[in-house]
């Protein structure tokens, strides 16, 4: 088990740790229903610091949880007519190669390094979410759709998003939606629905890449996933009463707090990463 934050939670509620963890699983589902994405990024920290699973185990299980909940969300968007299957299949196919590669490469990294990368992704996601919320509050809709970008640029974006998914276990919706809007040219509503199907593809492929390399607690995985899916229905109902921009700003703040805490928890990893980068960088040639 991971020391530090896990012990802090355990001191507060020693006999109820599993109950707290699974209650938070339902809250992840609520956040997915409220925001249409983003909440799944908290899955790995809950599995590690509340339920006490090892980082690699948690990342693998997180991919299965995110994939399943995203698939259920995609079905809802399909019923509403907000899912472009062709874009999802083309973008998803390109991203899945990166996802499988990222999952395989992750076996070579220590779990603490993956958590540092994960925390960095959380902070980047917070910036994206805050900017998106500010834009919703201040920018009137123009009705214009963005132009689609060239195929090589879309392919590179898909591979990059996929590799990130496999490496650190995030769905990557905060990256996929902007790419689908700005690079593929989808309207925002269709981009959100389509991104959920892409996330499901990526997550399942990433999970397959971990199988055989980590132990999976199938009982906990099934219960966590079921509670998260149930929570999405409550979140969808609540979304009718709460401002999306306000929610995104609050969630961005939560991501910053969690990201900083995880970086602090794994602070001993940071100097070693710096030394490794310094060793890899080319040394300047001596003057002759």
What pLDDT was estimated at residue 44? 85
> What integer pLDDT is reported at residue 180 of this predicted model?
83
Task: Write out the chain's pLDDT in tens, 288 residues.
Answer: 455 555 554 444 455 567 888 888 888 888 777 766 666 678 888 888 888 888 889 989 998 998 898 888 888 888 888 889 988 998 888 888 888 888 888 878 887 888 888 888 888 878 877 887 777 666 555 445 545 556 777 888 888 888 887 888 777 777 787 778 777 888 877 888 888 888 888 889 889 888 888 889 999 999 999 999 998 888 778 777 777 677 778 778 877 887 888 888 777 776 655 554 455 445 555 554
Specify the pLDDT at position 234.
83
Instruction: Break the chain into its structural domains and give their ranges.
Output: 5-266
Give the pLDDT score at 64.
92
Q: How far apart are CA 86 and CA 137, in angstroms?
A: 32
CB under 8 Å to 15, separation ≥6 — which residues?
Answer: none
Backbone φ and ψ of 211, nearest 5°: -60, 135
pLDDT at position 4 is 57
């Amino acid at each position: 088990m991971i020391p530090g934050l896990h012990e802090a939670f355990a001191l507060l509620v020693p006999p109820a740790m599993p109950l707290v963890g699974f209650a938070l699983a339902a809250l992840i589902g609520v956040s997915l229903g409220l925001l249409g994405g983003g909440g799944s990024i908290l899955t790995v920290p809950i599995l590690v610091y509340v339920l006490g699973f090892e980082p690699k185990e948690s990342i693998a299980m997180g991919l299965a949880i995110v994939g399943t909940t995203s698939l259920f969300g995609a079905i809802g968007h399909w019923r509403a007519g907000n899912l472009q299957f062709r874009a999802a299949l083309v973008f998803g196919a390109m991203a899945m190669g990166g996802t499988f590669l990222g999952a395989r490469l992750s076996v070579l990294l220590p779990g603490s390094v993956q958590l540092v990368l994960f925390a960095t992704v959380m902070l980047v996601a917070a910036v994206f979410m805050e900017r998106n919320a500010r834009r919703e509050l201040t920018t009137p809709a123009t009705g214009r759709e963005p132009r689609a970008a060239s195929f090589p640029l879309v392919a590179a974006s898909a591979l990059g998003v996929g590799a990130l998914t496999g490496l650190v276990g995030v769905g990557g919706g905060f990256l996929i939606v902007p790419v689908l809007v700005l690079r593929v040219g989808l309207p925002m509503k269709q981009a959100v629905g389509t991104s959920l199907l892409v996330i499901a593809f990526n997550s399942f492929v990433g999970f397959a890449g971990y199988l055989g390399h980590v132990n999976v607690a199938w009982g906990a995985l099934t219960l966590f996933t079921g509670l998260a899916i149930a929570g999405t229905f409550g979140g969808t109902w609540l979304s009718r009463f709460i401002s999306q921009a306000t929610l995104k700003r609050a969630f961005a703040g939560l991501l910053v707090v969690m990201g900083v805490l995880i970086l602090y928890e794994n602070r001993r990893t940071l100097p070693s990463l710096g030394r490794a980068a310094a060793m890899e960088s080319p040394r300047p040639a001596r003057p002759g």
